[in-house]
Structure 1
Amino acid sequence: MKMRITGVRRWAPAAAIAAYLFTPPPTWAEEQQAFKLEPVVVTATKTEAKADTIPFTTHSVDRETLDAQPSFFMNNVGELIRDLPGVHVGQYYPWGPPWIHLRGTGYFIGRTVYLVDGLPTWSFMSTTLNPNDIARVDVVLGPSSALYGANASGGAVNFITRSGTKGMGAKGQIAYGSNNTIRPHVSVGDAVDNWRYYLSYSGDYSDGYKMKPVEDALQLWSLGKKQYLKEASLEDNRYESSYASGKADWANEHGTKFSVAVNYAQRYLYGGQTNLILDDNGAQTISTIKAETPIGSIGKLKFSGAFQYYDHPQQYTKGLSLSGGNVVLDSTITQRREWEVKRLPAELQTDWYLGSNNTLTAGVFWSREDETRDDSFLLSGKKSLFKVTTDQTAFYLQDQMLFLDDRLSLVTGVRYDRWQYKDIFDTSSNPQTPEDVSKETWTYRGGAKYRFNENLAVRSSIGTAYWPGLPLWFFQNITSGNTWREANPNLEPEETWMVDLGFEVDLPRFGTFIGITGYYGKIDEVVSYRYDENPAVPGGSIARTQNLGGAEIYGVETSLKQRIIDKLWLMGSLTLNHSEVIDDPVNGGHQLRNAPDYWGSLGLRYLNADILNADLLFRFSDERYYDDKNTELPFFHMRAYETLDLRVWRDWRLADKWIMTTSISGVNLFDKYYETEIVYVNPGRYIEGMVGFRYLF
């Protein structure tokens, strides 16, 4: 998160003391540029607003901060925000997306909304983005369905893609790391007259590691969980991922703007066994168009639209089994799957200026998602096809008001959403074409913030969220292959409400920023899934879903930034959380899945362009559970962990317009072994060196 440090507004009789205590010296003001908040933010309110007037808990990670982070083996967008308070991240990279859990709500698919350039996307599509192509990540904590619709119980994460800037130039770099990991990157960008452009290519190619070790699968086998041995990693899971990104922006002097962005990825992942392929060169793309224009002096009209595509072909085998105490591999191909998702989100929004201190926002959102899962079972000759279209329509209103010379800000909002699951076809169901299903809801959000002066502020917000569940959980029955599914047409949607109260203390003279936020909320009709052992298929499983009674969530998020000496900073975050299943006869009193009792980070950052720059980061997390049953087995009960990461880098000016960059990173330096997600383990210590050259335009 970046801090905004401004001059002191003098008030009260103690003006002389305040002027001394709170006015930043020149060196502090210059160095703090790397950490200040953007003066204007959009994600928290969908409109332009000064950062210090936002009444919601928000954090931003900008490009300078991203460049200072270590190079993670888990090279995806989730690692970029792991150090923020209220944000907990699980990983099963490179198979799927980062499991971003916000504010103790746990299950990421249903309770975190992923956005790309402001438009909602499916969580798995976030793997389309390479960290090199991210300009900024905004996080809004607390229920945000009144802004972004479903899946926002814990909040929203907005990945803002990179644009060209004046003099950006051309860059080429190559990184080499543990596990024979090679990461090339080339990019070019600039701003010319009314235009900006950015183009890039990035690669991530690695021999990988054993993501699901056989030894761990055997341990689970001995404890009764036999379904995890079949696809365990007998060999390293090598992978190959290629990324391309392009963006063009245009703006004129009257405030009219237009941009088009394209992000593309092609990904391959070997399953660690002969013929087992977990991603067979699947193609992914997120293409976004945005336009806005003033409506005279009374408002603004905005449009955003996107085409989002995800292709994930897979190939399965008979796999591993245990015979006579020995692990036996049968690489006979049994199943091929074509899994495809297409999304078309679009939004039209108007902002009306009701005076200089009041903005009324009205908008309409529409999206269509087509999902197809086409399975071929080679030994039996059977086929299974599942198709569903999900249409979503929403209308929303929001009012932002400022009072008392902008010291008091109020925001209220309401939204109506309607979902329709239609054109459903499932080969294995009876009937194969069930009737359409519709769901609707109203959600609201409100907040207030009061700044006593430039150094102390208090804010509070309340909001609700809604999640209807995944369509395949309602309709899909599969009785072939390794993983069967059992439909639950009676699954109820879950609803969330939450309230928070936060304080911000900013002491520029001492280089101190402290943020503290307490929160309390409940989830009703918690949607929970599980994978049960399949007695009909040795080593197979059955996926089932159910509603639990509810969940109670409360905790405290804290953040600290402290200047120790010139050029040396201390940064930390700590989240204390309690998430408990309630009102359920079986799981009552259990910890909500993926919601540990504490997590956080503590780091030192040294910035000295004349000598070197360094970032040392200590991360930690309490234990957590994979399921709401709190199964006391390895990987179901994931252990607590602590890691130490380091990055050292420097830019070397070779000529007037030529710069060479060198860096070395070490992640998990003490080689800590721990689970990152169910049956997935951390790769251990990862070391990476990088050298690059940049030509400035």
Structure 2
Amino acid sequence: MSSARQLVVAGGLYLGGCCFSMAFAQGPAVAGSPLTTAALPEMVVTATKTGVDPASVPFTVHSVDATEIQRQPQPYLTNIGELIRDLPGVSVGQVYPLGPPWIQLRGTGYFVGRTIYVVDGLPLLEPIVSTTIHPNDVERIDVVLGPSSALYGPNASGGVVNVITRRGAPGMGATGAIAYGSFDTWRPQASVGGGSGDMDYYLSYSGDISNGYPFNPVSAGIELWDLGQRQYLPSATLTDAAYEKHHVSTSLGWRNAQGASVRLAANYMNADQDAGQPNRTITDDGDQLITSLTAEVPVADTAIVRFRGGYQYFNRPSTNTGGLTLDGARNLVLNSTPTLSGLWGPRTFIPLELQTDLFLGDNNILTGGVFFSHLDDNRSNRSAATGQLLSKSSWKTDNLAFYLQNQTFLLDDRLSLVAGLRHDSWKYYDIFDSGSTNRTPPDVSKHYTTYRGGARFQVNDQLALRGSAGTAFWPGATIWFFQNLSTGMTWREANPNLDPEKTWMVDLGADMQFPTTGAQLGLTAYYGKITDMVSYRYDENPDLPGGSIIRTQNLGGAEIYGLEILGTQPITEHLSFRASLTLNRSRIEDTGTLDGNQLRNAPDYHGSIGFQYLNPTLVNADLRLRFSDSRYYDDENTDLPYFLMDAYETLDLKVWRDWKVAKDLTLTTSLSAINLLDQDYQLELHYVAPGRYLEGQVALHYAF
């Protein structure tokens, strides 16, 4: 196997194979600084799951590494979505502080079913579980754009977001930090990591405690109430909605000189969040856990065998009340009597995968694998007054898949061809729903086959051309199939007849480098279709004033096309420029009255413009202008405030400096300002951005 084939690049930005760093000009850095990352270990390329040079991959792949994450302005909502929102093809919506980041890829809009979230190569139970991972514990995030079910299974219509968690490395040392920000927000942090011989280790704690903000303003609830949307006022925040979350991350790894390795990683979060009303809580002592075990064994020079296995746990208790309403005289009335104790969980998810890479000579890699997962899902509601069980839903889901992929290198490795397919089958069983006429419906089985392929040609040292095509599917959320719920303020109607949603997409791209100026430019055009599109809506409940009913349906489909642009340009030794722009058009079709509507949460344009100044002897600074066109909350394109979320721009800044205190001791001070111009805009429906957020941090790093 040639050395070129063995090369694995970690970190940086892979734009369809052209590798350049999200961190702009790297510049010199103080050794041992918390804002300096040790050399990253080898990784399996997310786009193909094989250990090849990312520059040989025909798919559009971006990566943000730990160095760039630490240099970004520190947001108020700390989650993985904020770390990748500057990438082309990536649009991020947000809800409340403990809510999931809504990561929408390549105009596919609905982020729960059309984006797959992965941690250390294993899929997550669902997007909200990603909040278990704190940004401090992220080594790198890879984003693969375009349908990717052929490698990762359901929900990969727009692509894959793969979070690689931190691990120890020689010289990492120990860090202690404390940050204080707006809304009385405290963020303590401590970590230690290192490596010696064949072993490496990492252990960290990150806290996030805040008095919060009125993320669901009463004024918004009243406005929607007057417009006939009465289901949003009851949950409005009367006072700042305080929250706290505590993260622990650990990793232990071993690798020998022959390339065999084993790694065990665990990430845990405990969280609380009130709802800004007496007796009402969104999360009351909730627990989340993500673990993974990864093993890799080379077999001579002919193969590599990889095993990945994990265990995920999610449990979020909550307490509901009657909340806020308006009486006939338009007086605000609060019913703070606890009515419902909800339990979202316990939910356990076990993914397992065995994969083999066969090196068929110097120019061909054949990858085959089998994937299995088991989900045990439970949800229940009890009377807050008596403890009586009011509703219970539970089910189990097994997913079994087989996949095969081949990558061939021709013309002295200038041409790379990739083709792969995967067959998934899944079974829903042990189904129970107390609200259904038939509480124990029969088992349900489904199956689907997907493919993905592409080609990349390195024309010369300055230009590479690439193209790919692929399909994806989404079976729909299981709760939509089986749960009928008529307790609390949010009811559900089951729809067991939902068909799996299908997506196909093609793209063409070019990666260019300009040696004279140091500029780099990537362009990708894409076109795709969604059929049997799954859609949900919140309808007002006529039997419960202020309540809502969630209903789901299959729509005809959607047409998606657009252009992604990303460029960087060094300006001086210390100053660099970066810009990304996505032009996208996602429109519903073949549905009658909804034809021509914008796909929900799929803005027609979004992007960012940034300057980074890196001068460790003076000061470092990162300035970013981020912008997005307007977007709708629903596929019906309801023309009401908050349902139509207006276009916005936000200006973010971070300034930091490393101070050498002693030979192995570095003090780092930083100041972040998010939304400098204090713009008012919606994150999702009536959830409003908190406004200007300022945070100062002091960190002390000891290198050993």
TM over 0.5: yes
**Whole-angstrom CA distance in 2 between matches of 1:459 and 1:171:** 42
Residue 2 of structure 1, CA deviation: 2.9
The yes-or-no answer on 1:326 pairing with 2:336 is: no
SS at match of 1:312: strand
Gaps of 5+ in 1: 9-26
Residue 382 of structure 1, CA deviation: 5.1
Identity of aligned residues (%): 54
**Whole-angstrom CA distance in 2 between matches of 1:260 and 1:207:** 35
CA contact (8 A) 2:489 2:548 kept: yes
**Aligned partner of 2:531 among 489, 510, 524:** 524
CA contact (8 A) 1:388 1:423 kept: yes
Residue 4 of structure 1, CA deviation: 7.3
Question: After superposition, what is the alpha-carbon deviation per residue over 1:343-394, rounded to whole angstroms, capped at 9, x for unaligned?
Answer: 0000000010000121100000000111100111346845100001111000
Question: After superposition, what is the alpha-carbon deviation per residue over 1:161-216, rounded to whole angstroms, capped at 9, x for unaligned?
Answer: 00111111010000000000000000000011100100000000000000100001
**Aligned partner of 2:161 among 152, 157, 167:** 157
Name the counterpart of 1:470. 477
Residue 555 of structure 1, CA deviation: 0.2
TM-score (norm. length: structure 1):
0.95
**Aligned partner of 1:503 among 510, 517, 522:** 510
CA contact (8 A) 2:27 2:574 kept: no
Name the counterpart of 2:106. 103
The yes-or-no answer on 1:58 pairing with 2:58 is: no
The yes-or-no answer on 1:375 pairing with 2:397 is: no
**Whole-angstrom CA distance in 2 between matches of 1:38 and 1:630:** 46
**Whole-angstrom CA distance in 2 between matches of 1:265 and 1:580:** 38
Query: In 2 relative to 1, CA 642–80 (structure 1 residues): closer, same or farther, beyond 3 Å?
Result: same
Query: In 2 relative to 1, CA 42–82 (structure 1 residues): closer, same or farther, beyond 3 Å?
Result: same
Residue 39 of structure 1, CA deviation: 8.6
Q: More displaced, 81-90 or 565-574?
A: 565-574
**Whole-angstrom CA distance in 1 between matches of 2:385 and 2:207:** 37
**Aligned partner of 2:617 among 599, 606, 610:** 610
CA contact (8 A) 2:501 2:534 kept: yes
**Aligned partner of 2:661 among 654, 670, 688:** 654
SS at match of 2:479: helix
The yes-or-no answer on 1:75 pairing with 2:81 is: no
The yes-or-no answer on 1:231 pairing with 2:266 is: no
- Residues 357-436 of structure 1 mapped to structure 2, 5 A cutoff: 357-378=363-384, 381=388, 383-436=390-443
Residue 508 of structure 1, CA deviation: 3.1
The yes-or-no answer on 1:2 pairing with 2:16 is: no
The yes-or-no answer on 1:268 pairing with 2:275 is: no
Name the counterpart of 1:20. none
SS at match of 1:630: coil
**Whole-angstrom CA distance in 1 between matches of 2:439 and 2:14:** 57
Question: After superposition, what is the alpha-carbon deviation per residue over 1:304-330, rounded to whole angstroms, capped at 9, x for unaligned?
Answer: 000001111110001111122111111
Query: In 2 relative to 1, CA 424–3 (structure 1 residues): closer, same or farther, beyond 3 Å?
Result: closer
SS at match of 1:52: helix
SS at match of 2:543: coil
CA contact (8 A) 1:3 1:37 kept: no
**Whole-angstrom CA distance in 1 between matches of 2:256 and 2:43:** 19
- Residues 623-662 of structure 1 mapped to structure 2, 5 A cutoff: 623-662=630-669
**Aligned partner of 1:183 among 167, 182, 187:** 187
CA contact (8 A) 2:14 2:60 kept: no
**Whole-angstrom CA distance in 2 between matches of 1:651 and 1:562:** 25
CA contact (8 A) 1:142 1:498 kept: yes
Name the counterpart of 1:556. 563
RMSD: 1.9
Whichever residue aligns with residue 83 of structure 1, its letter is: D
The yes-or-no answer on 1:299 pairing with 2:291 is: no
Question: After superposition, what is the alpha-carbon deviation per residue over 1:550-602, rounded to whole angstroms, capped at 9, x for unaligned?
Answer: 00000000001001111110001000000000000121110000000000000
Residue 56 of structure 1, CA deviation: 0.1
TM-score (norm. length: structure 2):
0.94
CA contact (8 A) 1:78 1:100 kept: yes
**Whole-angstrom CA distance in 1 between matches of 2:160 and 2:57:** 15
> What is the number of residues matched between the two proteins?
677
Whichever residue aligns with residue 62 of structure 2, its letter is: H
Question: After superposition, what is the alpha-carbon deviation per residue over 1:631-662, rounded to whole angstroms, capped at 9, x for unaligned?
Answer: 00111111100000000011111110000000
Question: After superposition, what is the alpha-carbon deviation per residue over 1:578-628, rounded to whole angstroms, capped at 9, x for unaligned?
Answer: 000000012111000000000000000011111111000000000000100
SS at match of 1:313: strand
Name the counterpart of 1:22. none
Name the counterpart of 1:13. none
- Residues 199-214 of structure 1 mapped to structure 2, 5 A cutoff: 199-214=203-218
